[in-house]
Amino acid sequence: MADQVAAMCEQLIKAVNVMMDAATSQIYRLEALKFCEEFKETSSFCVPCGLQLADKAQPAVVRHFGLQILEHVIKFRWNNMQQEEKVQLKECAMQLLSTGTHSILEEESHIKDVLSRITVEMIKREWPQNWPDMLKEMEALTSQGEAQTELVMLILLRLAEDVITFQTLPTQRRRDIQQTLTQNMESIFSFMMAILHVNVEDYRKLKGSPGHELQARAHCRVAVATLNTLAGYIDWVSLVYITSGNCQLLEMLCLLLSEPELQLEAAECLLIAISRKGRLEDRKPFMLLFDDVAVHYILSAAQSADGLAVCKKSSDPQAVEVVERRYVFLKRLCQVLCALGGQLCSLVFLKSSTQATWGCLFRHEIMSKDAVVVEMTIKYLRASMTNLVKTGFPSRDNSPSCEYSRVDFDSDEDFNSFFNSFRAQQGEVVRSACRIVPLEAFRIAAEWLQYQITSPIDTGNTTSKTAEGLCSLLSPSVVQWDAMTVFMECMVAQIFKNLEEEKLPIDQSMELMQAVLNYDTKDPLILSCVLTNVSALFPFAIRRQQFLPQILNKLFNAITFEVVQENKAPRTRAVKNVRRHACSSIIKICRDYPQFILPCFDMFYNHVKKLFSGDVSLTHMEKCALMEALVLISNQFKDFAKQKAFLDELMASVVVDWTSDDMRHVLLNPAVFLSFIGADQVVTEQNQEADTAGLNRARLSFCLCAMLGVVKRARWPSDLEEAKAGGFVVGYTPSGAPIYRNPCTAQFLLLLPNLLALIRTHNSLFMPENMARLSETFSRAHEVMDAEKNVVLGLSQNVLENFDSPVYRTNLERMQGFFSTLNDNCLNILGNVGLSLQQEFYTIERQLVLSCPQEYYDSLLCPLLGPLFSYMIQRLNVRWQVIIQRTSVNGEDEEEALCHESQVTQEIFEEQLVCLLTREVLDLLSVSCISRKVPEPVANKEEMEEDDMMTDSAQTASTQPTEELTELGKCLMKYENIYMSLLTLSFTSLSWKDTTNCHRTASMVCWTLLRQVVGGNLLPEAVTWFFTSVLRGLQVHGQHEVCNSTLTQLAMLIYENLRPRYMELRAVMTQIPNINVEALDQYDHRLMDPNGQKAGDKKRKDQFKKLIAGTVGKALCQQFRKEVHIRNLPSLFKKLKPVKDVQNSEELGLAALFAPENNAL
């Protein structure tokens, strides 16, 4: 046998070397892998070969494979081994731990890892019942040296991870091991603390001694392993062990923060410890960390690490590089400080880590008034002047933080995304700080703004590509203006909320406003910031109305802003953004302060007329924005006749153009429409014939935008008395609610026929005969634009590079954009009409569903929504079947096709699009039919936090929202064809591959709808289909715990409510793979027996979950995984049989009553 083992080992060594040799061909590597895997699965020589290969005289790669063989035997053959074979293998494994490794500094980490895995796999199968002395044996191993001590720590850590963190064991085995660990936790913790203390002391003694460097490193390695193991236990053990001995553990961890080689692991342990939740009295010892000594250690460690986090590059003495370990330690230390802040209530990542703590401090009702906190608030606001500045891009070297960013971020896009999130987070904290010291915040903002106005523009090294002397997004002046603008907006938002009117700094703010209005710049990026400051300071200006004309002039000038006059090139994004920004600012001012703009209405209107009639090239979007602003101001007329006359005048040209016979002819005929917009013409980029078609498209777009602006903004007075006095009220509903009329109704009803004609024509463009009319140039005009594809796919766009590039668009892109905005505008108009005109008009789509008066449900919404949902079921089902078939095909042709990246991207995009459309349709169903009611929580936040470990689940259940039908839902459910469409859509969607939709629909919609019809005469086939649809959903989504829970609950509700009337449901249950028919009979008996004792909800759900477990599908990553089976051992504790009649028992002594049985531990 020895010769056979030796020969096999020789073959295995050759196979391992072939696999690991980089020069080996793929064919030989696969053959070697197949040989090794077949050996592990079938050979009877696994144990002797594994032990021989694991000998420390072998190369590390061979030893690792030998140990893998032993691990495979334990995981997959243990249940079939004889007891003496198990004992022999266990003894051999312990011998490997004892003498089978090199010294701690020489041994490879992957060898240590697999040795610990082998031991833990045996522990999971035999401890404590068949291996009661395991902990003692581990303790004995530590006396043999540092290498063995480290291995023991690795074993204890992996055991905790498998049992507690990942829970990779059967329930009973896990419970046995966890209970035994808990019972022995005091000795385990004491053992680990002793190991840590001894090795830290020895390390400190030897680290500076000449000739003892290796021994010092060995002790350091053991200390690191012990800290890592402690981290695996601190997360779940009782807080008593963490805080025992007057918080000895926390004290040691604070001391270790000053040890460079141990500080990171110590900080991670500290973070886990103080992040623990629990009752307040249990966490009270953590207040020790607020002691001066502990705070001193934390502060000293931070200051020391900050100085050591960067070092000079050896290749370039002028440059620096980040010492990653020190930098990671700084991150952890910031998180520790945040966690400490949670116990009470100079780098982007570090700054972000501390924001939550500052926010808690500034929002605290009592602490925010403390003099020290007030003083720190001002310092914080000063510091935010630096922190809000967007610098530190990893591709740049213009800031010390760039070096750190290269550690944290892979690209400028990642940094930009993170910084935007960080700035939003800091903005919240700045607002909280401004609430405490509003006047000081105003002074800081004023100084900063004045400084920016008086400072010359610094373009830096990265200037604009389009015009000389202009800034880029990364220019020093731009990032400073940008940061100051954010600060200004945060400050103004708070000063009006926290200061009385007489204390507001009106005069000083007007000085600032005047300085901003006088500031003139031709740089679009800085001008955009200037406009934001005008908007931010505007609330002050309404108290000094003489400034309004100047402000409006400033905004009007920005609407026509150009960098280079008479330039034929398209405008850059930066210029477009300035013009759009000015339009948005005007609309915002007119929306929020229309009563203050009303005195300037004539000036405003005349200026708009001048712009419209002049040579200024306004886009139709800019024209419509100005019209929107005028409509908003006109709402303040509070006179129906006057406002109607104004709107008729404003929209006169639009009404004439839109209602003309020529336009109607275009809008009614798809072929004429395509010719009108130029979609049937072959156009080259240099072809000027397209100008006419472009002007036609602009005409249509302007008319639609103008309609949308008027319908969206025209309103009656919110005050009923003012509305009545102005002639806006025309009657009252039966319930007494006023019926209003909108001054834009008459003109909109004139525009409506052609609008509906356009929508009908646009929908017909997708018919084959109209698709064929598209020219070669525009054959892809109905496809989604690349920019929108990127949004759907979640791909970021590089805004840093294209901000100042002229926005050139191909003819195809223009046509795609036209069709997209055409559809959006049409639906937005219809969406706003219901809300705007109410009784005077009502039609399609969701926003209108919400605002439809109840008296029109039967006559309008039911005939509309029923066919809509029926149609969407068919469309969506077809698309989902394509996706499901695509993912299930495994043929070679399919794999070859998927190699094409463009096709893969297109398929992912289509799938995402179907997901989004499905959610939109089901959102429409939900908002139409379902009303959620959330009960009041049973406890306040503090009470919940103090005892959340014990009561969280109970509180969650008690505050679970309940779903009811809306009035529209009740109306829809009266019609069989409609409610069957709703039910079919809801239940079919459960098996579509979208977990978000599945969870939402199963938890909110399905049973709420089905419950309404279970009392009727549902056909058995329908009931069976509903139930199997839920089971099919479990097959697709059951591996996701959240979906599993909601689907199981839904299946149980259907079964328990309908099983008494429909025997067919039992027939469905019997078809579930591996179902326990006896358990099903018992469940049915309890369900059908009216006099039987009913089990609790949780117990019934657990029983039902076991019954249908065979329907739950496996995730793809689990489908081909070999199952590991761990047998249960005899229970640790025997349950005593209850004595039925204690009084008649002969033995009544306490000793007799509580005497343990002989086989109990």
**395-429 per-position pLDDT tens digit:** 888 788 888 888 888 888 889 888 998 899 999 99
Q: In terms of Cα–Cα distance, which of 532, 611, 522, 595 is closest to 561?
A: 522
φ, ψ (nearest 5 deg) of residue 965: -80, 140
Q: Which two tokens stand for residue 255?
A: 């001391």
Q: Find tokens 């796919």 and name the residue.
A: 793
CA distance linking residue 162 with residue 177, whole number of Å? 11
Lowest mean pLDDT among 521-535, 758-772, 962-976, 1119-1133: 1119-1133
Q: Which two tokens stand for residue 544?
A: 């000094």
Lowest mean pLDDT among 568-572, 664-668, 802-806: 802-806
Confidence of residue 1004 (pLDDT cuts 50, 70, 90): very high
User: Does the pLDDT of residue 361 top 60, yes or no?
Assistant: yes
User: Does the pLDDT of residue 916 top 60, yes or no?
Assistant: yes
**Secondary structure class of 822 (helix, strand, coil):** helix
CA distance linking residue 1065 with residue 114, whole number of Å? 50
H helices within 257-323, ranges in order? Answer: 263-274, 280-283, 292-308
User: Does the pLDDT of residue 807 top 60, yes or no?
Assistant: yes
- Mean confidence (pLDDT) of the chain: 86
Mean per-residue pLDDT, 884-890: 68
Residue 951 near residue 982 (C-beta atoms within 8 A): no
CA distance linking residue 416 with residue 800, whole number of Å? 9
Q: What percent of the chain has pLDDT over 90?
A: 57
Residue 714 near residue 707 (C-beta atoms within 8 A): no
Helix (H) or strand (E) holding 732: strand 729-732
Instruction: Tell how far CA 495 is from the center of its chain.
Output: 33
Of these ranges, 594-598, 730-734, 837-841, 928-932, the one predicted with the greatest mean pLDDT is 594-598
Question: What is the per-residue pLDDT across 186-242, written as a single tens digit (0 to 9) for each?
Answer: 999 999 999 999 999 999 999 888 889 999 999 999 999 999 999 999 999 998 898
Q: In terms of Cα–Cα distance, which of 46, 49, 110, 53 is closest to 81?
A: 46
User: Does the pLDDT of residue 373 top 70, yes or no?
Assistant: yes
User: Does the pLDDT of residue 1062 top 50, yes or no?
Assistant: yes
Confidence of residue 355 (pLDDT cuts 50, 70, 90): confident
Confidence of residue 661 (pLDDT cuts 50, 70, 90): very high
829, 834, 836, 840 alpha-carbon torsion, rounded to 10°: 120
Residue 1050 near residue 1030 (C-beta atoms within 8 A): yes
CA distance linking residue 666 with residue 664, whole number of Å? 5
Within 10 Å of residue 69's Cβ, how many Cβ atoms? 23
* DSSP per-residue string spanning 872-918: HHHHHHHHHHHHHHHHH---HHHHHHHT-HHHHHHHHHHHHHHHHHH
Instruction: Give the number of residues written for the chain.
Output: 1161
Mean per-residue pLDDT, 931-937: 57
Residues 6+ apart with CB under 8 A from 519: 453, 530
DSSP for residue 600: G
- pLDDT for residue 1089: 81
φ, ψ (nearest 5 deg) of residue 1021: -65, -35
**Secondary structure class of 807 (helix, strand, coil):** coil
Confidence of residue 1156 (pLDDT cuts 50, 70, 90): very low
Three-state helix/strand/coil letters over 366-429:
CHHHCHHHHHHHHHHHHHHHHHCCCCCCCCCCCCCHHHHHHHHCCCHHHHHHHHHHHHHHHHHH
- pLDDT for residue 344: 55
CA distance linking residue 1108 with residue 1035, whole number of Å? 10
Given CA atoms 374, 375, 381, 387 in this order, what sign does their dihedral have? negative
Of these ranges, 292-296, 760-764, 826-830, 946-950, the one predicted with the greatest mean pLDDT is 760-764
CA distance linking residue 370 with residue 430, whole number of Å? 18
Lowest mean pLDDT among 55-64, 255-264, 396-405, 1140-1149: 1140-1149
CA distance linking residue 1077 with residue 1052, whole number of Å? 17
AA letter at 473: L
3-class SS shares of the chain: helix, strand, coil, % to 5: 70, 0, 25
- pLDDT for residue 841: 55
Mean per-residue pLDDT, 72-79: 95
- pLDDT for residue 891: 43
Question: What is the per-residue pLDDT across 782-803, written as a single tens digit (0 to 9) for each?
Answer: 988 888 888 888 776 665 555 5
**Domain range annotation of the chain:** 238-344, 346-436, 640-851, 857-888+902-932+959-1119
Mean per-residue pLDDT, 278-295: 78
Q: Which two tokens stand for residue 958?
A: 């008690």
Q: In terms of Cα–Cα distance, which of 504, 489, 506 is closest to 546?
A: 506
Helix (H) or strand (E) holding 729: strand 729-732
Mean per-residue pLDDT, 1143-1153: 41
Question: What is the per-residue pLDDT across 256-268, written as a single tens digit (0 to 9) for each?
Answer: 999 999 999 999 9
User: Does the pLDDT of residue 849 top 70, yes or no?
Assistant: no
How far is CA 303 from each of CA 262, 298, 402, rounded to the nearest angstrom? 16, 9, 20
Mean per-residue pLDDT, 624-650: 96
Residue 652 near residue 731 (C-beta atoms within 8 A): no
How far is CA 1055 from each of CA 1001, 1033, 1063, rounded to the nearest angstrom? 18, 15, 10
AA letter at 160: A
How far is CA 938 from each of CA 277, 645, 944, rounded to the nearest angstrom? 20, 56, 9
Confidence of residue 938 (pLDDT cuts 50, 70, 90): very low
Q: Find tokens 């967007």 and name the residue.
A: 390
**Secondary structure class of 973 (helix, strand, coil):** coil
CB-neighbour burial class of residue 271 (10 A; exposed 0-12, middle 13-18, buried 19+): buried
CA distance linking residue 553 with residue 546, whole number of Å? 13
Residue 637 has, within 13 A of its CA and on its CB side, a CA count of: 23
Confidence of residue 351 (pLDDT cuts 50, 70, 90): low
CA distance linking residue 903 with residue 921, whole number of Å? 27
Given CA atoms 386, 388, 392, 398 in this order, what sign does their dihedral have? negative
- pLDDT for residue 343: 63
Residue 552 near residue 606 (C-beta atoms within 8 A): no
Within 10 Å of residue 541's Cβ, how many Cβ atoms? 22
CA distance linking residue 401 with residue 844, whole number of Å? 54
- pLDDT for residue 463: 66
